[in-house]
Structure 1
Amino acid sequence: MADVPALVRREVIQRLYAHMDRLRWEEITHREKSDAYERFVNDPEIGGRLTRYIGSDKIRVWIKDGPAKEYGRALEGVGSYASYSTRMYPSPQRFVAQVLGPEWRVRDGSVDDKPMRCWAEADHDSARYVIWGPLTGLKDLVWQAVLHRTDHWDSEPVICVTSRGMTPLPASVRKEAETMCRIVGAEMREARRSVVDKPKDQ
């Protein structure tokens, strides 16, 4: 990332994330995001401050490839940008309990990202490897399952396709996704996830 002083960088990202939180960035269209980038570049407190350190023709790229690209991970509570958002997905523990059942818990230290994944354990000494993300990232979920199977051939991972709304995947889309998962020896599930406001003490 360009040589922007730490204080300026922090304040710019705080302002960017305040806008992204308000817009519900994970829900808006590509067109709406494109319009928002233009506003960010022209905002005196964002683009205006960055022009002292970045060429004006590179500010949009700085925003898009840095803070905006990391926003999804920030909502998951991972990465160096997580503290800038006032919103978050429910914790991996709550997600695992939603997908596998209340008796399942996340193995300490097993949560990872790109894509999100973890080991889940139950009281009866069972373990499942859970990988999750939106349908748009299915190829990354499937590839992660392939990598997992190369090291744990007898472990069937769970690929969970997440969505924000209550409408299930169309039958044809689900069938295709199930087929892809079956080919790599993974079980496919669906789950609804919604971003919530962080507690005031976070």
Structure 2
Amino acid sequence: MPPRPHRRHARARRPLDVLGAAAAACVLLSTAAPVASAAPSSAGPLAADPSSNYRCDPGLYRINTADEGRPLTVALSSGNYGTVLQYFWNNESNQKWRVCRKQTSDGRTLAYLQDAMRRWCMAVDHWGQENGALITTYGCIDEDVPANQSFWMAYVHGSTLFALQAQHSGKWVAAANHSDKDIDQMVQDVKPDLFHLVAV
């Protein structure tokens, strides 16, 4: 049976471990290919793929956390301005995202995610490789999307839930310590949190 969203224990999100046996069994799947393949356990260059050719969905989305439905939100306070949080839904432009995707030559889906407020893209701060590197937003253009602003969309089989894997580091987008708090910072980690898109 396909995996189900994990239950909460002690108010901590139990991350779905897709880098071990689950990844080998293709638990996280890309949606676009006839025979989908798992997201890579480590990121690498896109052989024979153009740098662009992304197609952007026509509308905007909330990117909700799977369990609590907290939308990914661009922070506006001076202390963490531009970083990405999970937050309450307020129907603001800093909580809405444009999703642009392409299917790579091996059938996986690569995406960049652009906030509706400034049209900046979700990114791993300073090309960080370490666990805990902040998820933030940087200016971006479709013609040359850098690898720290590109994310593999790895879907759970038979579900609309997906994880986001940074192309440059091979690590996953998650709340800090996989928290289910109403407000918390998003970081990269060896284990993913799950998300789903809601049209707005």
Same fold (TM over 0.5): no
Higher strand share: 2
Higher helix share: 1
Normalised by the length of structure 1, the TM-score is 0.28
State the structure with more CA Rg.
Answer: 1
Normalised by the length of structure 2, the TM-score is 0.28
Bigger RCO (CA 8 Å, 6+ sep): 2
